[in-house]
Structure 1
Amino acid sequence: MKTLLRITFVLAVTLSVSVGAQAQSGYTTGIGLRGGVASGLTIKHFIKSDAAIEGIISTNFRHRGAVITVLYEKHAQAFNARGLQWYYGIGGHVGFHDGRHYYDRDHKHYYDDRVVALGIDGVLGLEYYIRDIPFTIGADIKPYINIPSGGGFWDSALHVRYVF
């Protein structure tokens, strides 16, 4: 848990100190909630007008643990609609799970140790910036592969962010 707090602190400091250009969407940084199979906190910071870094701290109750994900995302206007953007990206994650709930899908074996999962993530999403209340709402699909245990998975989620 101390490692999780350290990584969270470093991520927050890095994103808050970064100086980026004003994004095409009209905001520089957004902080909010992500709800899906893996739910948690999300922060997105634009480093260029069409590129952002997103950090996600999430939990998956099925695997009883926490995951920290960092994504590099490219943004572009969607459907010629003002404030609507689609984005795609790639990144990685590190997760800390209870071994019994992470490995044992059929409840045939018990693992008492903690599991550290590393992996590669992708993301494809759509986001709308509501200028009047400064919030964004969006949805995305985030496929990922866990390297130690193998296998491919995906997570879909809705998110809401306060932007500034």
Structure 2
Amino acid sequence: MVKTSLSVLIVLFLGLSFLNESQAQTYATGIGLRAGVSNGLTVKHFIQSDVALEGILHTRWRGLVITGLYEVHKDIREVRGLRWFYGGGAHIGSWNSGNSNPPWADPGYRGSTIVGIDGIIGLDYKFVDAPINLSLDYKPAFNIINGGGFWGDEVALSIRFTF
């Protein structure tokens, strides 16, 4: 009886160890800063083990843009905690006129509201022993409403606190 109970405890302990090991390689939610061509805040939340929703609030050309993305994450087995991801979404925002008008705007530009679609591809690394996540991505976008056309320059590094 004691031998059986000890065996059950050992199996349970090993099972929990493997469970803890797999959880250490990923995170449920990350909140942090995004720095690149535009700067702002980012929140990424996993709705499945390999699918995340990301919200970005960032500034560019004296304006504010909100982006929502659906991302699929894939493991890179050679490096623990590293994944690559791809996805897409949409953005909405507004720009003000002033001294630093967007480069595509004419001299009489008075500001506008924009709506568009986004793609994203990148690398996502979760430190194993710390609640920190780094993400490097390329996020091209296309404005459907109110000019600007294709933005192919959006590269950014995100640093997030994870929990």
Instruction: Report the TM range for the smaller structure's normalisation.
Output: 0.7 to 0.9
- Contact 1:31-1:43 within 8 A present in 2 as well: yes
After superposition, residues 15-34 of structure 1 pair within 5 angstroms as 25-34=25-34
More off after superposition, 25-34 vs 144-153: 144-153
Task: From the superposition, tell whether residues 82 and 150 of structure 1 become closer, same or farther in structure 2 (CA, over 3 Å).
Answer: same
Q: CA deviation at 1:79?
A: 4.8
**How many angstroms apart in 1 are the aligned matches of 2:66 and 2:123?**
21
1:162 corresponds to 2:154: no
Structure 2: runs of 5+ lacking an equivalent: 1-21
**How many angstroms apart in 2 are the aligned matches of 1:104 and 1:73?**
30
Q: CA deviation at 1:87?
A: 0.3
The corresponding residue for 1:76 is: 74
Task: From the superposition, tell whether residues 111 and 23 of structure 1 become closer, same or farther in structure 2 (CA, over 3 Å).
Answer: farther
- Cα deviation code 1:129-157 (max 9, x no counterpart): 01212101120000000112252112000
The corresponding residue for 2:43 is: 43
Task: From the superposition, tell whether residues 23 and 69 of structure 1 become closer, same or farther in structure 2 (CA, over 3 Å).
Answer: farther
The corresponding residue for 1:153 is: 151
Q: Give the aligned length.
A: 138
TM-score under structure 2 length normalisation? 0.78
Other structure's SS at 1:69 match: strand
Task: From the superposition, tell whether residues 104 and 86 of structure 1 become closer, same or farther in structure 2 (CA, over 3 Å).
Answer: closer
Which one has the largest radius of gyration?
2
Q: CA deviation at 1:31?
A: 0.1
Q: CA deviation at 1:103?
A: 6.7
The residue type paired with residue 118 of structure 1 is: V
Other structure's SS at 1:145 match: strand
The corresponding residue for 1:127 is: 124
- Contact 1:103-1:111 within 8 A present in 2 as well: no
**How many angstroms apart in 1 are the aligned matches of 2:49 and 2:87?**
15
**How many angstroms apart in 2 are the aligned matches of 1:159 and 1:104?**
27
Task: From the superposition, tell whether residues 150 and 64 of structure 1 become closer, same or farther in structure 2 (CA, over 3 Å).
Answer: closer
Q: CA deviation at 1:95?
A: 1.1
TM-score under structure 1 length normalisation? 0.77
Q: CA deviation at 1:30?
A: 0.2
The corresponding residue for 1:111 is: 109
- Contact 2:104-2:148 within 8 A present in 1 as well: no
